[in-house]
Structure 1
């Protein structure tokens, strides 16, 4: 259960607790994966989909409550997993996101004596000699560390031009806990990789490794300090974005001292209004800053949850507003590769212009859709989606009749499921950042419409892209010339195939529908035979126990036939 390049945890008094933690995480995952399989895969296949639907809300709430309790008790990376789930307002039901939302702030602190000993060991001196004052009550407690207010000694304050600091101190023993949690997550990722429905969409072991890499970076405060300075450099031109300065002389791998920039938490609506700040104005500004990171520089804050963003009132207006956005906690940062960033920019432009075909092309360029995919039906689906729901905000979408969504899913669900989608490795942090951004913006303004922010930003990207129009025209000309050269040979091959009768015409949609009808018919016949044998056995058994038992036992055969004959590979 150790990571490459990491020394194993030494056996000792806590070794048993470590093994118990590992087993407990796996038991939790195994049980709930079994529940999901039973209700979402097995029952629908035997015609009991309505039973699964009726209990779905209760099951989701039960899962969220159980995970909430587990995460708070165990801490470590389980808190991080819960925070990620709570941020997925776009795809997860409110039963889960609402229950796990409290994990953003619900982490019990470590006694100050324990963190003090760790800090003094790291800094090589008593805290009384390093700081003029340290508040023993933490200002914030996170899953991997906690923060305390402190004041620099006069000479140190003179050097950095500020005295108030926040000292982040790593939780004692967190490295061993992270090792155990990552080992458990690797095991769960391995389980999921054997499910075809999951493995064809994403490489779960690779995603877990990406999460592992990010988590290990988070517990290296020297790395976080360097990331904070890089982020500050990226926004040096933008006075509306602030970043705390680092006190390098009081920073080590497990202790980080930085400027105290505490202000109004971005989702503190009452605090914002008391300061004369309209939350509805903060939402688009925050969205624009996040877009700038993801689609501009490509270096982005991957953990922009409400506890990591402040709204800081200013004496003088900045960018026409009497406040600025202050980012903290740079342990989880992401880098978008240039190729992915180009694809994301095209995706944003296509979404803003309601261009279904362009959107599908951009999805392919980003790497979410494999090049071999037949995208004609998906393009039609996206065009239909934009025509009906494009431009709607979250509040408007909530008012749409759920039957419309079900009709859309019924019409295009098979198309989407049949295409070779995948989740690229570097997408985990991008999805997290965008999910948290949409969640924060929606909490600031329930009527917030993401399109209001997307469209002007996309217009800006279009203006920037116009600078490369000559290259685009040249590329199109080259493509046309290549096609013209290859055309005679391709026509000759087509004529040959027509003459010898070997030309085949593929109709994927019709073939899928026929196959689906065949599977349904097989399942229906098997289900009837199964039900007949089972009922007959139940009726006969009171009078003839042997015959009744035989009939009920034999009923398993048509049941298995129905499940296997009608089975689609997961």
Structure 2
């Protein structure tokens, strides 16, 4: 526990130094970090703020790089300038010495590297904040890529997660806006995501699943996983020879059909999202290769998105609403899928969605970027404090990236038209799926049970009505404040009547001159009545003023 606390303190100091160096020292006080760490807090960020925050995240390492990448998909949380900057986050790091990398492999498999691989290239081909990648050959000569987790990176990530949780709890405790945004929920989601990325067996399963999904797509391939050399910290994959898709664009290879490449790429991701409900969530150009045979290879399946059945149907309905230019259906679907804690002005919300849709009415469909459109819809929803499932923001970013790449491959490419075809496939797949048949069967069974039980239930109801034992209970909700107001008003009226009665009674006593003389030759009983009336009267006035009812 002591070591853990010391590690957390050291990390706090490191974060403070990096933020201060980039002019973000002022934010430390907002996060509740002690005063003596707020060095250079006077350096307020201006136009350069997003770029400096991005650089700070890159310096702070894997956790904050991944956090920035997550925030780049959340237009409901982050201004556009920061989203654009966070999208540029570069996950690079100095290389780890080869002996340390070999030690990780040998610890995972309990054998020397020479007994596991025929060849292992000590020169890494890539070094990121979480892993380092090397080329190797299996014992049978097969060329592979070996992804090895950096030593002790899991301890660093866990420390950072604890810090993020602590700051999220602090902000939610002191800020209504933080509670509305659900910062603790975001921290939970982020913790789950980055812990999954630290487990390479999960990435291996993701790769296998996407490989199976793409097996029916012509000209699209995904690397094979070699499970015998894969563990939580080591991942061994088939090496696919190919160039980044952006490099292919620059070379302008006459042997490649760029229109066909664009169609294949878009089709692969639309099928993953709308038909399979499980998609590659990090399709930047470095993760999309073009092989010498002209195939598209999807690599690095560490980040994936999952569209559950309800969300998948919701995404399809939202796309259909846009196609039919029906903002009311779009609004209804968002309200059905989203979470909100206050009353929504549906008419105003629908009108704002209509403004977004109208801006695309006269635009050719090939010029509509579906990802950016979805991002704009999410921004409007966020303005009304409606939180849609995070997967929609991820889907918007994925579609935006794929649409952009496809448009560079083929300037006349129409992503919306291709998506329309996959919406039809998704609907047919949903209707013909085994789950749909099972749900239909359950609905039939429930309907049958209801119909058979209905006569008996009606008979019981009628018998109770005839016998006079039928009891109907009403529960009023939301009337507690009204009851409290009436009770308080009744109390004040009672006090006012006591004051009035005391004044009238005292006046009668004084005018009659009865009783012993006390002061100014006035009866003591009359004076006592006036004192009681004054005390209660002052209390009544103060009570009214405090409650604001004097208006």
| SS of corresponding position for 1:257 | strand
Q: In structure 1, which of residues 126, 129, 134 is the aligned counterpart of residue 120 of structure 2?
A: 134
Q: In structure 2, which of residues 318, 333, 339 is the aligned counterpart of residue 347 of structure 1?
A: 318
Matching of residue 75 in structure 1 with residue 75 in structure 2: no
* Rounded Cα–Cα distance in structure 1 between residues aligned with 2:321 and 2:78: 25
* Rounded Cα–Cα distance in structure 1 between residues aligned with 2:329 and 2:10: 53
| SS of corresponding position for 1:148 | strand
> Displacement of 1:216 after TM fit?
0.7
* Rounded Cα–Cα distance in structure 2 between residues aligned with 1:302 and 1:253: 21
- Give the aligned partner of residue 59 of structure 1: 46
Q: In structure 2, which of residues 100, 121, 129 is the aligned counterpart of residue 114 of structure 1?
A: 100
Counterparts of 1:324-339 in structure 2, within 5 Å, are 324-339=295-310
| SS of corresponding position for 2:225 | coil
- Give the aligned partner of residue 31 of structure 1: 26
> Displacement of 1:195 after TM fit?
4.1
> Displacement of 1:396 after TM fit?
6.3
Of residues 8-17 and 139-148 in structure 1, the stretch that sits farther from structure 2 once superposed is 8-17
* Rounded Cα–Cα distance in structure 1 between residues aligned with 2:28 and 2:219: 45
* Rounded Cα–Cα distance in structure 2 between residues aligned with 1:358 and 1:373: 16
* Rounded Cα–Cα distance in structure 2 between residues aligned with 1:9 and 1:370: 41
> Displacement of 1:436 after TM fit?
3.5
Q: Once the two structures are superposed, what CA deviation does each residue of 1:478-529 show, in whole Å capped at 9, x if it has no partner?
A: 9xxxxxxxxxxxxxxxxxxxxxxxxxxxxxxxxxxxxxxxxxxxxxxxxxxx
> Displacement of 1:360 after TM fit?
1.2
RMSD, matched Cα: 4.3
- Give the aligned partner of residue 13 of structure 2: 20
> Displacement of 1:414 after TM fit?
13
* Rounded Cα–Cα distance in structure 2 between residues aligned with 1:343 and 1:252: 36
Instruction: Give yes or no for contact 1:219–1:331 (8 Å, CA) kept in 2.
Output: no
1:191–1:306 CA distance, 2 compared to 1 (3 A): farther
Instruction: Give yes or no for contact 2:221–2:298 (8 Å, CA) kept in 1.
Output: yes
Matching of residue 312 in structure 1 with residue 291 in structure 2: yes
Q: How many residues align structurally? A: 416
Q: Once the two structures are superposed, what CA deviation does each residue of 1:90-147 show, in whole Å capped at 9, x if it has no partner?
A: 9977854665555345433322222122122212122122111112222222231121
1:279–1:189 CA distance, 2 compared to 1 (3 A): farther
Counterparts of 1:469-480 in structure 2, within 5 Å, are none
* Rounded Cα–Cα distance in structure 2 between residues aligned with 1:370 and 1:280: 47
Counterparts of 1:310-459 in structure 2, within 5 Å, are 310-314=289-293, 323-367=294-338, 373-390=344-361, 392=363, 419-424=384-389, 427=390, 429-445=391-407, 450-459=415-424
Instruction: Give yes or no for contact 1:392–1:449 (8 Å, CA) kept in 2.
Output: no
Structure 2 residues without counterparts, runs of 5 or longer: 32-43, 370-375, 448-551
Structure 1 residues without counterparts, runs of 5 or longer: 1-7, 37-55, 158-162, 315-322, 399-408, 479-570
Counterparts of 1:201-350 in structure 2, within 5 Å, are 202-270=181-249, 273-274=252-253, 276-277=255-256, 282-314=261-293, 323-350=294-321
> Displacement of 1:363 after TM fit?
1.3
1:362–1:25 CA distance, 2 compared to 1 (3 A): farther
Instruction: Give yes or no for contact 1:369–1:421 (8 Å, CA) kept in 2.
Output: yes
Instruction: Give yes or no for contact 2:314–2:333 (8 Å, CA) kept in 1.
Output: yes
Q: Once the two structures are superposed, what CA deviation does each residue of 1:275-305 show, in whole Å capped at 9, x if it has no partner?
A: 6436565445433322222222212222222
* Rounded Cα–Cα distance in structure 2 between residues aligned with 1:354 and 1:328: 37
> Displacement of 1:206 after TM fit?
1.1
* Rounded Cα–Cα distance in structure 2 between residues aligned with 1:313 and 1:349: 38
> Displacement of 1:33 after TM fit?
8.7
* Rounded Cα–Cα distance in structure 2 between residues aligned with 1:256 and 1:423: 34
Task: State the TM-score, normalizing by the size of structure 2.
Answer: 0.64
> Displacement of 1:373 after TM fit?
3.4
> Displacement of 1:25 after TM fit?
7.3
Task: State the TM-score, normalizing by the size of structure 1.
Answer: 0.62
> Displacement of 1:75 after TM fit?
1.5
Q: Once the two structures are superposed, what CA deviation does each residue of 1:333-382 show, in whole Å capped at 9, x if it has no partner?
A: 23222222221221122122222111112212322567963422322332
1:129–1:234 CA distance, 2 compared to 1 (3 A): same
| SS of corresponding position for 1:82 | helix
1:20–1:418 CA distance, 2 compared to 1 (3 A): closer
1:292–1:250 CA distance, 2 compared to 1 (3 A): same
| SS of corresponding position for 1:67 | helix
Instruction: Give yes or no for contact 1:77–1:181 (8 Å, CA) kept in 2.
Output: yes
* Rounded Cα–Cα distance in structure 2 between residues aligned with 1:132 and 1:415: 56
Counterparts of 1:459-538 in structure 2, within 5 Å, are 459-461=424-426
Larger radius of gyration: 2
Counterparts of 1:186-197 in structure 2, within 5 Å, are 186-190=165-169, 193=172, 195-197=175-177
* Rounded Cα–Cα distance in structure 2 between residues aligned with 1:165 and 1:416: 45
